[in-house]
């Protein structure tokens, strides 16, 4: 009787044991709406066109050799789908509660404790079709060289611990004051050149320019 029961349950056991399968990714197809994988399973079995389901809002192209967990829908190996893919070789390690968005080359975004976000990369490009707004009580930029292409509009005072060097002219609608010597090839005030302006002698003759 037990033998008959075991024989009758054997197909069910087989289906249950095949519902979840470990595999290695051997190829990735990004040319379709839903990414598909080619995988290698146990006993050198392989499977093609395995749909990979990813959470909305995130997408990745896993490196070859990544590990995958496949689910056999209805216990049928002919209906495999990938429900998880990971590559432990490149996974960054953090503290409890940390969240990472990372690349195999090492650049990453880390959400860590105390509200801190760390971005590590060789180059960061930020593109906005309308505007970028940064709201912060204090902003620090540490860089030996900073370049701004386009007009710079500052609504408060500009303070510097070093010199201001301009290759073009400096125009001010208000007063320019200095507690030190103001130097340059020439200074113009009210449309009058400092080096080029002259005065009249009592004899109605012009003085020479400033020496």
Domain that holds residue 54: 2-86
Rounded to two decimals, the pTM is: 0.73
Q: What is the C-alpha separation between 49 and 39, in angstroms, rounded?
A: 9
Q: How many domains is the chain built from?
A: 2
Instruction: Give yes or no: residues 33 and 102 share one domain.
Output: no
Residue 8 is assigned to a structural domain of this protein = yes
Give the tokens for residue 30. 């990004």
Q: Are strands 20-29 and 67-72 parallel, antiparallel or unpaired?
A: antiparallel
Q: Is residue 49 part of a domain?
A: yes
pLDDT tens across the length of the chain (211 residues): 667 666 655 565 666 666 888 999 999 999 999 999 999 987 778 999 999 999 999 999 999 999 999 999 877 778 899 999 999 999 999 999 999 999 999 999 999 999 999 999 999 999 999 999 999 999 999 999 999 999 999 999 999 998 888 888 888 787 777 776 666 666 776 667 766 666 656 666 555 555 5
Shared-domain flag, residues 59 and 100: no
One domain, residues 100 and 115: yes
Q: What is the CA radius of gyration of the chain?
A: 35
Domain at 71, CATH number: 2.40.50
Interatomic CA distance for residues 24 and 87, integer angstroms: 10
User: Has residue 61 been placed in a domain?
Assistant: yes
């Amino acid at each position: 009787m037990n033998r008959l029961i075991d024989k009758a349950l054997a197909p069910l056991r087989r289906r249950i044991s095949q519902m979840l399968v470990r595999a290695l990714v051997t190829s990735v197809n990004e040319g379709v709406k839903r990414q598909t994988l080619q995988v290698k399973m146990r006993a050198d079995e392989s499977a093609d066109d395995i749909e990979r389901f990813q959470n909305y809002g995130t997408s990745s192209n896993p490196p070859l050799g990544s590990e995958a967990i496949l689910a056999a829908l209805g216990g049928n190996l002919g209906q495999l789908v990938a429900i998880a893919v990971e590559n432990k070789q490149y996974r960054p390690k953090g503290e409890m509660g940390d969240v990472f968005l990372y690349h195999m080359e090492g650049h990453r975004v880390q959400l860590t404790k105390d509200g801190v976000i760390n971005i590590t990369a060789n180059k960061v490009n930020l593109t906005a079709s309308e505007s970028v707004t940064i709201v912060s009580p204090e902003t620090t930029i540490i860089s030996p060289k900073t370049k701004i292409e386009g007009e710079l509009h500052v609504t408060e005072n500009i303070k510097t611990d070093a010199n201001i060097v301009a290759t073009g002219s400096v125009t001010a609608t208000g007063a320019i004051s200095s507690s030190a010597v103001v130097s340059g090839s020439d200074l113009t005030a009210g449309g009058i050149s400092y080096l080029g302006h002259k005065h009249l002698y009592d004899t109605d003759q012009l003085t020479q320019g400033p020496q």
